[in-house]
Amino acid sequence: MTKPGMEVWQPEGIDLPGATLQTLSYVVVDEVVENAVRLSVSAWPSVDEAGRLRFEGGERPRSVPADLKQLRAFVKAKRGGGGRSSQLRMGTVLAVRVDKSVLPDPESNEEMREHASATPRLPDEWMEPPVYDITGAARDKAKEAFYAAVAPTVKVGRRP
């Protein structure tokens, strides 16, 4: 359910209805240290009237440890159609349904301990296929966020 004045974000490469998209999570490869990955898991974003991606779930993204090789194999085997596949590296974004009930609350001491746990979570413990690689669309939104913050936007049709 989106808030008034908001629309469900529909990135290129995923041909799913809005109601289905809202059940997915926005999963970012945030940090990679050798084979250890920190994933940043957010609720599916909306787009506001200004065209901005908005994460308004009311809570911080969850931080989930993963193993790079396991994650790469899972994404390769369970990839959904459409989106262009990219390497898994910092900045890669996946769209996938997530069982949040098995993940700790963001910023709790439990999450801090999980983040430090020796055993990363297996992807199929908490991710439900298919997995969509939406890195390209997400990078475009990140660039938009960056440039709109540092310089004025221009109205449609007034492109310099």
Q: Which residues bind other proteins (CB under 8 A)?
A: 26, 28, 30-31, 33, 36, 38, 40, 42, 45, 52-55, 60-61, 63, 65, 90-93, 107-109, 111-113, 115-120, 135, 138-139, 141-143, 145-146, 148-150
Nearer to other proteins, 129 or 136 (CB): 136
CB of 117 to other proteins, least distance (A): 6
- Measured in degrees and rounded to the nearest 5, phi and psi for residue 52 equal -90, 140
Nearer to other proteins, 14 or 42 (CB): 42
The CA-atom distances, in angstroms, between 87 and each of 27, 65, 96 are 14, 18, 17
- Measured in degrees and rounded to the nearest 5, phi and psi for residue 97 equal -80, 135
CB of 5 to other proteins, least distance (A): 15
Contacts of 20 (CB under 8 A, 6+ apart): none
Rounded Cα–Cα distance for residues 41 and 64 (Å): 7
CB of 129 to other proteins, least distance (A): 21
CB of 13 to other proteins, least distance (A): 14
Are residues 26 and 56 in contact, defined by beta-carbon separation less than 8 angstroms? no
Nearer to other proteins, 76 or 143 (CB): 143
Nearer to other proteins, 130 or 141 (CB): 141
Nearer to other proteins, 56 or 124 (CB): 56
The CA-atom distances, in angstroms, between 109 and each of 53, 104, 105, 113 are 29, 9, 9, 6
CB of 119 to other proteins, least distance (A): 8
Rounded Cα–Cα distance for residues 59 and 84 (Å): 30
